Structure 1
């Protein structure tokens, strides 16, 4: 907004796929697989899922060394608002992707809430970009990092009718500068001592 003072931002974070054309949305940033062929798209960055917990919790309960160890811990899970289903926890084990369904003590349907609640509750799975600020200030630490999974990508989408729009091109260029691979968040998941 500093660079483009005439730019108006109407942010609509939600756990449902908006119809950009019908709702008159210029650009959307989506995480996950894309299905709408009427839209143009640009891959911005990959994203990773990893387990996180607070250092205080880990000091009391110990740090899990393998995904199977999660059964010995308090767990918080994410529930998709659109489907009402809980997230299956993905891990990379022995060269293959394995999804585990935790018997969680609680769920939240907002990824930001999951990150905030994890500071006191236990262990949970989250996207690296959601918890990055919590990790940077030391409120959360990644656990089971060597088992973390890259899950699809962050993508910008826009209707073909906006193609060539000067404001749209400026915004897409800005997004391209904000998202690069590897992202700074990926550094948070580097695995010291094989953890």
Structure 2
């Protein structure tokens, strides 16, 4: 499972799962790398992003929105961009594991906008982007599940909210099997239930009413 999501939103869930299922042992690996579930012997992965067609089964747990954010102090010093093309004049902090890497896409008031950014920092870890941004080091595009507390406290502010970046899914992924092991099914059902109500959307409570097999 992805490092930051695993620490923030999955680690608090494991104790209750183990209490309910005392015969199941957990072996948890946090890694932003996309692993081969079959070759590396994993029963289940949690992945964030688009799910390509494959022999794997995916079940959506929840969605998270990508947010363009910076600190108020950074914006006071460098100005607030009014259009995605203005990012060319700003310090941009880029997360290298997104498939589009240095091309960011937005839905704006007059349609879709794509902009190729020139990042001052590239990193494969979202927490590094967040740490630099909190130090007034630039503008980043990161998921709401990571940033909601900073936004509520005012440490970060959303930039150009009228230009909405992608909403991406969080999925439980497991190998295709005719008979899914009961322990895996129990864990997937538990995660689906746990993520029915999350509070990381800046505007309030984000509710996922249902999650169905893809």
Q: TM-score range by the shorter chain?
A: 0.7 to 0.9
CA shift for structure 1 position 123: 0.9
Q: Which residue of 1 aligns with 2:192?
A: 176
Alignment partner of 1:76 is 2:93:
yes
Alignment partner of 1:46 is 2:63:
yes
Tell me how far apart the structure 1 counterparts of residues 76 and 203 of structure 2 sit (CA, whole Å): 20
Q: Which residue of 1 aligns with 2:129?
A: 114
CA shift for structure 1 position 77: 1.7
Tell me how far apart the structure 1 counterparts of residues 178 and 187 of structure 2 sit (CA, whole Å): 12
CA shift for structure 1 position 22: 1.3
Q: 1:105 aligns with which of 108, 116, 120?
A: 120
Q: Unpaired runs of 5+ in structure 2?
A: 1-13, 206-214
CA contact (8 A) 1:80 1:87 kept: no
**CA deviation string 1:70-93 (max 9, x = no partner):** 233222222239x8x733222112
SS of residue in 2 equivalent to 1:12:
coil
Q: Unpaired runs of 5+ in structure 1?
A: 191-195
TM-score, length-normalised on structure 1? 0.80
CA contact (8 A) 1:40 1:159 kept: yes
Q: Which residue of 1 aligns with 2:155?
A: 139
Tell me how far apart the structure 2 counterparts of residues 110 and 163 of structure 1 sit (CA, whole Å): 36
Tell me how far apart the structure 1 counterparts of residues 79 and 178 of structure 2 sit (CA, whole Å): 52
Aligned length: 186
Tell me how far apart the structure 1 counterparts of residues 79 and 149 of structure 2 sit (CA, whole Å): 23
Tell me how far apart the structure 1 counterparts of residues 87 and 107 of structure 2 sit (CA, whole Å): 15
Q: 1:153 aligns with which of 126, 149, 169?
A: 169
CA shift for structure 1 position 176: 1.0
TM-score, length-normalised on structure 2? 0.73
Tell me how far apart the structure 2 counterparts of residues 146 and 24 of structure 1 sit (CA, whole Å): 44
Question: Alpha carbons of 1:143 and 1:70: their partners in 2 closer, same or farther (altered >3 Å)?
Answer: same
Structure 1 consecutive aligned stretches of length 4 or more whose deviation exceeds 4 Å: none
CA contact (8 A) 1:78 1:109 kept: yes
